[in-house]
Structure 1
């Protein structure tokens, strides 16, 4: 009896610290696009990550303010904060802070974090102080979530004056793409080979991201397999 054959186990090749390539050989004809697209969608939208969801900058009441002695305005600072990536060892939102005085660049390494949070990209520039007498002080909230959540959809909006809500870019995946090619299996040449490349933000490895995406898909399909049979109503 003919059955649908299973693919080979994925082969992983690192490209850099945060990116890698997966090759899945021997996919049943036509399954390459189905599997590749499903993995890509889950990787981009369904992996847990962390992001800054609000900020309070001392002396600033709204996001369109300028800060004396600081090169960037509040909007530019917020855009830079969106690029700061974290590892979070818990599920509850956490407060982190930053305080710097004197001329020079302020980077993510200047953020003070509790033990439950760690900055990944410490070289990310946040602001530049141009006056040695100026002090920049801010408090931020770091939360965990899935995908991208705009301000309007966040459960916790600013509750006090001066707190600015930020669109949350939770996804730990920077880039993912795949290519499907035909390959020979036995006498047939229409089996599929999937080449999937993943680049992360450093808070998770490409291998961890791939495994988690597969786990999510397996969990979804396992529920669909438990079909409940109901009596037909006349």
Structure 2
């Protein structure tokens, strides 16, 4: 007779093996039959689609007006130059969202990725080839390097660029490989338990274990929408006071604000979970949040202003209701 359970078996083992400089194997087990694939597949998709990387999104070359032009003294046409540029992987040293950098080279010279490294930009593919210049060449160009996820075609970037810049297809994803196997493992006398074996490789912009942790974080945050809504519904059912659409919006978690990682982490460390908590805080209280810098403060204030402007003015009674609801959720 099959053993009767009241909860699925909880996996307890995780092993991480370094396979190369930017390559790891992660094993987790034992999972109930069917559970491994349910977790592994969405994690793989998030690794490939949601890992943060850096990419040039635009280029301005002195004396060049379009990508089918040529440059005196450079062996490669502009189109080939741009293709070579896409093989070079950049990283913004201070992890800011965007940097504009300018370069100038004179020939004769072969230009490689390592030649583009400076105090603002790290190159993780130093040996990637870019261009060949002869003694008559003088190459001047500027790049806009941006942080992002996934892939953004040049058509979607074009309208946001400064004058003179050519848009580039932006390949942000730093994960080169994310595959998994599902293996059988024996637990006591049952051979039907499962093991997930992940193989993850990155291009060096991010460590593979960091990419995996980030994918887990994205999964948790995406799933939290259900928890947020259910909490609101439970309170609404048990609370005799009227619940407005505005209050429900304020009872959503701060994850929905799409704040930068730095701002989000400061709020999280301060124990602030819900948008309504920010709305209830004065500017002085916001300023006193530990390690919250000026840039993060401005970002949070801007988000709060966007929300409150879309809402009707909340009365003192509604603000009191909001305060009580947040206290109930967090208790």
Flag whether TM exceeds 0.5 (same fold). yes
- 2:186, 2:193 within 8 Å by CA — same for their partners in 1? yes
Q: Give the one of 3, 6, 9 matched to 1:2.
A: 6
Per the TM alignment, residue 108 of structure 1 is displaced from its structure 2 partner at its CA by 1.7
1:96 aligns with 2:101: yes
Q: Counterpart in 2 of 1:124?
A: 128
1:49 aligns with 2:39: no
Q: Counterpart in 1 of 2:189?
A: 187
* Equivalence map 1:67-82=2 (5 Å): 67-82=71-86
Unpaired segments ≥5 residues, structure 2: 238-331
- 1:97, 1:112 within 8 Å by CA — same for their partners in 2? no
- 1:96, 1:111 within 8 Å by CA — same for their partners in 2? no
Unpaired segments ≥5 residues, structure 1: none
Per the TM alignment, residue 94 of structure 1 is displaced from its structure 2 partner at its CA by 0.7
- 2:158, 2:166 within 8 Å by CA — same for their partners in 1? no
Please state which structure has a larger fraction of its residues in strand.
1
Partners of 2:105 and 2:131 lie apart in 1 by 10
- 1:98, 1:112 within 8 Å by CA — same for their partners in 2? no
Per the TM alignment, residue 13 of structure 1 is displaced from its structure 2 partner at its CA by 0.7
- 1:85, 1:201 within 8 Å by CA — same for their partners in 2? yes
* Equivalence map 1:29-178=2 (5 Å): 29-88=33-92, 89-111=94-116, 113-115=118-120, 117-129=121-133, 131-154=134-157, 157-161=160-164, 163-178=165-180
Partners of 2:20 and 2:108 lie apart in 1 by 34
Secondary structure, aligned partner of 2:183 = strand
When normalised by structure 1's length, the TM-score is 0.90
Structure of higher RCO (CA pairs closer than 8 Å, 6+ residues apart): 1
When normalised by structure 2's length, the TM-score is 0.65
Computing the radius of gyration over CA atoms, which structure comes out larger, 1 or 2? 2
Aligned Cα root-mean-square deviation (Å):
1.9
Partners of 2:227 and 2:204 lie apart in 1 by 35
